[in-house]
Amino acid sequence: SWIDSGKFAISSRVIKGKNSNNLVFTKETFNSSPDLYFKVKNKPSKKVSNINLQQSEYLWGTLESIQWMNFSGKHNKGLLVKPNDFDPKKKYPLIVNFYEKSADAIHTYRPPEPLRSQISYSYYASRGYVIFNPDIHYDTGTPGEDAYDAIMSGVQYLLNQGYIDEKNIGIQGHSWGGYQTAYLLTKTNLFKAAESGAPVFNMFSAYGGIRWESGLSRMFQYEHQQSRIGQTPWEAPFKYFDNSPLFKADRITTPVLILHNDKDGAVPWYQGIEMYTALRRLGKKAWLLNYNEEPHWPVKLQNRIDFQIRMSQFFDHYLQQKPMPTWMRNGVPALEKGINQGYEFIKD
């Protein structure tokens, strides 16, 4: 408690002097990198490193905590990232990014790196996006509706503030977040673009699958853990049906970018195939990214960079009216993967 005053995060490993009570630790916030600090008791800490001088040359954005009342009448928390030159009188495109609960990570430093499975907050904020990350609270048996309650009530709260462009809202999530993204698209046409990574699209077939990395049946996850159905398909078939986006895919109007790799050891990649083939059969706009021999998310640096480029081009096209890249218009033939990237823009 005597390390410092203020709002920040410190490293989980605080080093104490061998023969003194002096401390060494790192301290960070959303827009200050985790530099090293030296602390003598009862004196202010002293910054002893400056690892990120280049940050001053870039727009970074700001991050704040927000609260609102969800549709269930309960208080909800979330994170909101705004561009550096934010003007509440202007209208901004919004991207909703989430997993389960992230509000406590308000002071985490987020550099513009090629992440494996989600958008980079500082990168998107620097390019004029507002980013919203709501906490989701779950009851047993209704994971889809629980996500809808928290996310859509939060988006409505932001729309009421007047600075969000209601015609340019996107959503992005991976794994459990990818499933919830797919579910939400069957319930609303508010989103203009969506990225759904490693999603469960059909809870019946996913329940009977294998987590190939560990060899475990996926049944335990639906009966007792994250998927939160709480019963078997024989006990509660309609819960599996109601929470499976596949059976309501005809309601989806939002263009969807799907990421699912063929060595995914957590969510069998046929779930991504079920989503893609269903949407294409229904005449919907959908793209499937598959990085061969990669697991639950891209691990190799070149694949993470490629994924981030394509996701950025996808959202920019729909939410900022940028040109459509060639890969979105024509696809990339299997024989040309890694050779013809298709990043170039099409001139209409």
Give 303-326 pLDDT, tens digit per residue. 999 999 999 999 999 999 999 999
- Given this model, what pLDDT does residue 43 score? 84
pLDDT tens, 29-56? 999 999 999 988 878 889 999 999 999 8
- Which strands sit side by side in the sheet containing 92-97, from one edge to the other? 62-69, 75-82, 130-134, 92-97, 164-174, 193-197, 256-259, 286-289
The mean per-residue pLDDT over the stretch 181-195 comes to 98
Distance of CA 329 to the CA centre of its chain: 25
Closest C-alpha among 48, 47, 42 to residue 2 = 42
Other Cβ atoms closer than 10 A to 282? 12
Q: Which amino acid is at 242?
A: D
What is the DSSP track for 228-254?
---S-TTT-HHHHHHT-GGGGGGG--S
How large is the average pLDDT for residues 88-100?
A: 97
Q: Are 182 and 196 in contact (CB under 8 A)?
A: yes
Residue 220, φ and ψ in degrees, nearest 5: -60, -35
The pTM for the full model equals 0.94
Nearest to 140 by CA among 231, 233, 247: 231
Q: pLDDT of 98-140, one tens digit each?
A: 999 999 999 999 999 999 999 999 999 999 999 999 999 999 9
Of all residues in the chain, the percent with pLDDT exceeding 90 is 87
Q: What is the CA radius of gyration of the chain?
A: 22
Given a cut of 50, whether residue 1 has pLDDT beyond it is no
Residue 34 has what pLDDT?
93
Considering only CA atoms, which of 345, 281, 291 is closest in space to residue 314?
A: 345
Confidence band for 347, pLDDT divided at 50, 70 and 90: confident
Tokens describing residue 151: 């996310």
Q: Please, what is the average pLDDT of the chain?
A: 94
Query: What digits encode the pLDDT tens for the residues 214-268?
Result: 999 999 999 999 999 999 999 999 999 999 999 999 999 999 999 999 999 999 9
Residues paired with 26 in a beta bridge: 36
What percentage of the chain carries pLDDT values higher than 70?
A: 98
